[in-house]
Copies of this chain bind each other. A is one copy, B any other.
Amino acid sequence: MSVSTVAVAGLGIIGGSLARVFKSVGFEVLGIDSDDGTLSAAASEGVVSEDSFNINSADESGFRALKRADVVFICTPVLSIVPVVRKLAPFIKRGAVLTDTGSTKRVVVNSVKEVLPKGVAFVGGHPMAGSQYSGYGFSRVDLFSKRPYILTPTEETPPEAVETLKALILKTGAAPHIMTPEEHDRIVAAVSHLPQVIATSLVNAVRESDSGSGYLKLAGKGYKDTTRIASSAAGIWVDILLTNKDEVLTMISIFSRQLGELRRAIESSSAPDIRSIFERARQYGNGRSEGFGCNDRR
């Protein structure tokens, strides 16, 4: 399928970055957002087209611009995806490919089926990129460079739709990974959702212990690194945790067992047990090669 126009609904850090990179590689980008300020900013930067529109506009005549789009990306918080698709459905052309960038997939893939317009293929998607920051102001053209970008087709998904998206993903600099929605949710529960739950709980534990004494003045890289993501936006995480509940609860149990083992090793003052627990973690690695520097280019 030949793609010339891409629509991006939700111009946050993810949608904004997709808009930027697609524009940079020669596509026309139609922007859709619920905030006029964001739409103006993106249009004035030339990132999105002049007929980009506000999804909450009372006058839906402008929505017809969406008919131009060959591919439509929904880049809103997970629980907004279905309402947004429902609203845009009448204006998506037959033969277009619809996808999302939500952080969980099973619930999204199952529920979008209910509101998907005829003749439009849907493929669940999730770029593993970004940080604790949110909003168009943090979008960047290289956000997806060398990052994994997951697609979760089902048995019903037309293969051409997957191929179309894979080609677009490659243009963002990302590497496409194909897996089932269930497999996706299990993996992100481990490498993304559990770390978030842990970081948030850690901050709240230190806060409780601190009781206003100013502990954070003495906090170093150890505290800062482990709690950096705790400043992520609450709203996004509510949606994620509610739509990946079972996998997240499973990971919390696994974590609690591991913590319990280390706690018992400390309680029994067992140097060999503590050492072997630390060695086990050290060998599994932290997803980076030794000596790799900081990845945050801000």
**Cβ–Cβ contact A195 & B202, under 8 A:** yes
**Cβ–Cβ contact B278 & A200, under 8 A:** yes
**Cβ–Cβ contact A263 & B249, under 8 A:** yes
**Cβ–Cβ contact B150 & A234, under 8 A:** no
Name the contact of A203 in the complex, choosing from B220, B252, B284 (C-beta under 8 A).
B284
Chain A interface bracket (under 10, 10 to 19, 20 to 34, 35 or more) = 35 or more
**Cβ–Cβ contact B294 & A262, under 8 A:** no
Q: How far is the CA of A162 from the CA of B3 in the complex (A)?
A: 71
Majority secondary structure of chain A interface residues (helix, strand, loop or mixed)? helix
Q: How far is the CA of A39 from the CA of B279 in the complex (A)?
A: 27
Q: Which residues of A contact B (CB under 8 A)?
A: 128-133, 147-148, 150, 177, 186-192, 194-210, 213, 215-232, 234-235, 237-238, 241-242, 245, 248-252, 254-259, 261-263, 266-267, 269, 271, 274-275, 277-282, 284-288, 290-291, 293-298
**Cβ–Cβ contact B294 & A296, under 8 A:** yes
Query: Nearest CB to that of A177 among chain B residues?
Result: B218
**Cβ–Cβ contact A227 & B293, under 8 A:** no
Q: How far is the CA of A2 from the CA of B255 in the complex (A)?
A: 53
6 additional contacts (CB under 8 A) given A192-B220, A195-B227, A227-B287: A150-B218, A190-B206, A191-B219, A208-B254, A221-B229, A231-B285
Residues of B within 8 A of A230 (CB): 281-282, 286
Q: How far is the CA of A91 from the CA of B202 in the complex (A)?
A: 45
Residues of B within 8 A of A254 (CB): 205, 208-209
**Cβ–Cβ contact B278 & A237, under 8 A:** yes
